[in-house]
Amino acid sequence: MRPITLSELKQLARQSYDGLWSAAKSMDRDVKLYCHWTGGHYVQHFDDYHISIDADGSLYVSTDNMSELKAHTWHRNTGAIGIAMACAYNSFLGSHADLGPEPPTDAQIESMAQVICVLADVLDLTIDLQRVMTHAEAADNKDGLYLHEPYGPDADCERWDLYVLKEGDAPYTGGDILRGKANFYRAQRLLSD
């Protein structure tokens, strides 16, 4: 993993536009952005994701090719970018969400929203549930595409990344908050060239 700025990431995404869209269209769907947490420590970055976000909000990439096939979201990796917050070690979803000793930080949340905004701008994506999903939402096929048996919070809860961003938040609000923040950045045009 190497560090990268948001504007450098924007350039990489531009170069990957055709590769991502042809891969997505081969599956008869749009390019998608999948938002994860790693379930590891703040400083741990994994090659399964194209982009990983540190606790301080700084960005790392595992590849310069955003259309490279990575193993981040089961049965959904073609034509998709995996973005992870490095956090959530020892998190557990029981009767309530326990995000463990290393929960998502405010810096990580804002940084992920900015990454979503920049990638969606470059890749011509509406920032909605059909195109920008948390792994919790993807695991439960919340976009209406039944691509696999559900394995998220609605089922056996094998994956529940970003189901909530903070302990005590209402169930299944993580994706809406991230998309809302990304759409705010988009509307402000703070990140556009």
30 lies in the binding site for Zn ion (CB under 5 A): no
Q: What angle do CA 175, 120, 4 make, to 5 degrees?
A: 95
User: Which C-beta is closer to Zn ion: that of 82 or that of 121?
Assistant: 82
The residue within the footprint of Zn ion, chosen from 50, 76, 135, 142 (CB under 5 A), is 135
Residues 158-187 that bind Zn ion (CB under 5 A): 161
Residue of 56, 193, 41 lying closest to 122 (CA atoms): 193
98 neighbors 51 (Cβ within 8 angstroms): no
CB closer to Zn ion out of 36 and 131: 36
Using CB under 5 A, pick the residue from 36, 70, 142, 179 that binds Zn ion.
36
Check residue 98 and report its DSSP letter: E
Q: Return the amino acid letter for 192.
A: S
Question: Can you read off the two tokens belonging to residue 73?
Answer: 């979201």
Binding segment for Zn ion among 6-14, 30-38, 112-120, 126-134 (CB under 5 A)?
Answer: 30-38
Is position 29 an interface residue for Zn ion (rule: CB under 5 A)? no
By CB under 5 A, residue 45 contacts Zn ion: no
Q: How far is CA 140 from CA 33, 93, 155, 157, in A?
A: 16, 15, 7, 9
Size of interface with Zn ion, in residues (CB under 5 A)? 3
**Residues at the interface with Zn ion (CB under 5 A):** 36, 135, 161
